[in-house]
Amino acid sequence: MARRHLRSRTRWTLKRQWLGIWEVQNYYSRLEELAKDGAEITFGYALIASASALLATGGLLLNSAAVVIGSMCVAPFLGPSRAVCISAVFRDRKTVLGGLVKQFLGLFAAGAGLAFVTTVLLRSRVPGVEITPEILLRAMPAAPEAVLSVLIAVTAGAAASLALSADPSVVETPWGQIIDTMIGVEIAISLMPPASVVAIGLAFGRVDISRNALLLLMVNILGLDIVGSTLVLALRGVRVQYLCLEKAIRQTALWVLSTVSSVRLLGSEINVTLMNPTAASVHMTVRTQVGEQVPASLAQTIATEIAKRTGCYCEVSVDLMPYQSYSTL
């Protein structure tokens, strides 16, 4: 029992000494994948953003908070927001720009554009369509409402980053996906309704409403992407050098494997778990042709080469997976 307590205390001291996320397999590489996926503009994203915009416009004109909330539930803005904050920490300007472009296309091209067209058509064909309190809430907020809106945006951004860093092991689990859904709704609160109000104000010829809603939207985007999300990841110790270390370890292992004739890189897996900035655990599943021999010192060679190239000491384990292939082509 004393030995177990000592081990736990030593591990806790190590985590406190090195700021960062440790003991999670492929953590930093997975963050980079989330960012790149979040910045990718797809046809599905455009369709869902359009559906959210139509729901938000209908709810605002109908003065129905329930319908506006429904538009938030389908708004797809968690991905681009994460693309911005993660890539900002990793200093990937291209992905930061991609995330911002995706956000603005969803909010203005799909969101505000459809809101404007819908409002103009409804005003010309349906009597009684007027500016409602739900619209004015986003267009002419009192000081407490404006401050609280910004606070909500910052908190939603912080929650998005905390979901990735507070308990990073749940990122790939069903529970993590449920958390993402809830956070996505919180993020949409700050984005889709103000974007729709910008267009609705223009459709009614109320430039003051559009201007105020646009200002609120820009402040919310800043609070969401930078103050809430990026700052939290930085405070949690997410750093670009840890991503570079993961990549360097993986690339070094691949280089060693490429020098072994009996190893097939296609289908092989290399998983890297950083324990701290100078230690890592590397688990590899390597495909080999049936009947061919693999050097007994393969794991040792990989660990030595990683230490030589990166200065990181590794525990390397290699699982060999023999396979056969045959083709009549």
CATH value at residue 73:
1.20.1080
Instruction: Say yes or no: 135 and 257 in one domain.
Output: no
What angle do helix axes 78-89 and 27-39 make, rounded to 10 degrees?
A: 130
In whole angstroms, give the CA distance from residue 157 to residue 291.
54
In whole angstroms, give the CA distance from residue 179 to residue 159.
9
For residue 164, the model assigns a pLDDT of 80
7: in domain: no
Instruction: Say yes or no: 219 and 263 in one domain.
Output: no
8: in domain: no
Residue 101 CB coordination number (10 Å): 14
Instruction: Say yes or no: 30 and 134 in one domain.
Output: yes
For residue 107, the model assigns a pLDDT of 93
Instruction: Say yes or no: 222 and 270 in one domain.
Output: no
13: in domain: no
Instruction: Say yes or no: 225 and 165 in one domain.
Output: yes
Q: What are phi and psi of 41, to 5 degrees?
A: -90, 120
Amino acid at position 234, single letter: A
For residue 178, the model assigns a pLDDT of 60
327: number of CA atoms within 13 Å, CB side? Answer: 2
For residue 176, the model assigns a pLDDT of 57
Residue ranges, the chain, pLDDT below 50? 1-17
Domain stops at, among 238, 260, 275 = 238
Instruction: Say yes or no: 185 and 256 in one domain.
Output: no
**What count of residues does the chain have?**
329
Instruction: Say yes or no: 97 and 186 in one domain.
Output: yes
For residue 180, the model assigns a pLDDT of 67
In whole angstroms, give the CA distance from residue 296 to residue 85.
44
Instruction: Say yes or no: 177 and 256 in one domain.
Output: no
For residue 13, the model assigns a pLDDT of 40
CATH value at residue 297:
3.30.70.1350
Domain stops at, among 238, 265, 283 = 238
Domain stops at, among 191, 222, 238 = 238
Buried b (16+ CB within 10 A) or exposed e, 211-237: ebbbebbebbbebbbebbbbbbbeebe
178: in domain: yes
Residue with tokens 């230490």: 307
Q: What would the two tokens of residue 222 be?
A: 């800043």
Instruction: Say yes or no: 246 and 214 in one domain.
Output: no
Amino acid at position 166, single letter: A
Q: How many domains does the structure of the chain reveal?
A: 2
Owning domain of residue 282: 241-323
Instruction: Say yes or no: 146 and 295 in one domain.
Output: no
For residue 3, the model assigns a pLDDT of 42
Instruction: Say yes or no: 193 and 123 in one domain.
Output: yes
107: in domain: yes
For residue 16, the model assigns a pLDDT of 45
For residue 31, the model assigns a pLDDT of 92
Instruction: Say yes or no: 204 and 248 in one domain.
Output: no
